[in-house]
Structure 1
Amino acid sequence: MASSTVCVMDASGELGSSLVERLLQRGYTVHAVVQSGQNHGDDHDLKYLDGICCDENKKLKVFHSDPFDYQSIIGALRGCSGLFYTFEPPQDQPTYDEFMTDVEVRAAHNVLEACAQTDTIEKVVFTSSITAVVWRDDRTSDSSDLDERHWSDANLCRKFKLWHGLSKTLTEKTAWALAMDRGLSMVSINAGLLMGPQLSISNPYLKGAAEMYEDGLFVTVDLNFLVDAHICAFEDVSSYGRYLCFNHVINRPEDALQLARKLTPSSPPPPQSYEEDKRIFQQRISNKKLNKIMVDFQRGSQEIEQNNA
Structure 2
Amino acid sequence: MKADLLLEGSFDEAIEGVDGVFHTASPVLVPYDTNIQENLIDPCIKGTLNVLNSCKKASSLKRVVLTSSCSSIRYRYDVQQVSPLNESHWSDPNYCKDYNLWYAYAKTIAEQEAWKVAEKSGIDLVVVNPSFVVGPLLAPQPTSTLLLILAVITGRKGEYPNTTVGFVHIDDVVSAHILAMEENNASGRLVCSSSVAHWSEIIEMLKAKYPSYPYENKCSSQEGDNNPHSMDSSKIIKLGLPPLRTLDQMFDDCIKSFQEKGFL
TM-score with structure 1 length normalisation? 0.61
Q: Are residues 1:240 and 2:187 paired?
A: yes
CA distance in 2, matches of 1:87, 1:66: 11
Change (3 A) 1:174 1:260: farther
**What is the deviation of 1:194?**
0.9
Q: 1:210 to 1:96 in 2, by over 3 A?
A: farther
Task: Give the alignment partner of residue 103 of structure 1, picking from 23, 38, 43.
Answer: 43
Letter in 2 for 1:175: A
1:231-255 C-alpha deviation (Å, 9 max, x unpaired): 0011010111000112333269643
CA contact (8 A) 1:195 1:222 kept: yes
The superposition leaves residues 230-281 of structure 1 with CA deviations (integer Å, 9 ceiling, x where unpaired) of 000110101110001123332696435346999xx5345679xxxxxxxxx9
Greater Cα radius of gyration, structure 1 or 2: 1
Q: Secondary structure at the residue paired with 2:84?
A: coil
Which of 148, 158, 167 does residue 106 from structure 2 map onto? Answer: 167
* Equivalent residue, structure 2, for 1:136: 76
Contact 1:101–1:170 (8 Å) recurs in 2: no
Q: Structure 1 residues 233, 179: closer, same or farther in 2, change over 3 A?
A: same
Match of 2:11, SS state, is helix
Residue in structure 2 matched with residue 276 of structure 1 by the alignment:
none
CA contact (8 A) 1:232 1:297 kept: no
Query: C-alpha separation between the residues in 2 aligned to 1:282 and 1:161?
Result: 19
* Secondary structure at 2:189 match in 1: strand
CA distance in 1, matches of 2:200, 2:5: 41
2:172 corresponds, among 209, 225, 229, to 225
Q: Give the CA deviation at 1:98.
A: 4.0
What SS class does the counterpart of residue 161 from structure 1 fall into? coil
Give the TM-score, by structure 2 length.
Answer: 0.70
Equivalences for 1:35-114 in 2 at 5 Å?
63-89=1-27, 97-99=36-38, 100-114=40-54
For residues 1-309 of structure 1, the aligned pairs below 5 Å read 63-89=1-27, 97-99=36-38, 100-142=40-82, 144-196=83-135, 197=137, 198=142, 199-201=146-148, 210-211=162-163, 213=164, 218-250=165-197, 254-258=201-205, 265-267=213-215, 284-295=230-241
| Alpha-carbon separation, structure 1, partners of 2:148 and 2:133 | 12
One-letter amino acid matched to 1:136: R
On the 8 A contact 1:81/1:122 being kept in 2, the answer is: yes
Distance 2:14 2:199 in 1: 45
Q: Deviations over 1:159-213 (max 9, x none)?
A: 110011001000111111111111100010011111133212289xxxx9535x2
* Counterpart secondary structure, 1:244: strand
Alignment root-mean-square deviation, CA: 3.4
Give the superposition deviation at 1:88.
3.5
Where 2:100 maps in the other structure, the secondary structure is coil
How far apart in 1 are the matches of 2:216 and 2:199? 20
Deviation at 1:64, TM superposition (A): 4.5
How much identity, in percent, do the aligned residues show? 27
Q: Report if aligned partners of 1:96, 1:163 keep a CA contact under 8 Å in 2.
A: no
Q: Give the letter for the 1:105 counterpart.
A: I
Of structures 1 and 2, the one with the larger relative CO (CA 8 A, separation 6+) is 2
Q: Describe the shift of the 1:236–1:251 C-alpha distance in structure 2 as closer, same or farther (beyond 3 A).
A: same
Q: Aligned-pair distance for 1:291?
A: 0.6
Tell me how far apart the structure 1 counterparts of residues 61 and 114 of structure 2 sit (CA, whole Å).
15
In the alignment, residue 240 of structure 2 is paired with which amino acid?
A: M
1:167/1:132 Cα in 2 relative to 1: closer, same or farther (>3 Å)?
same
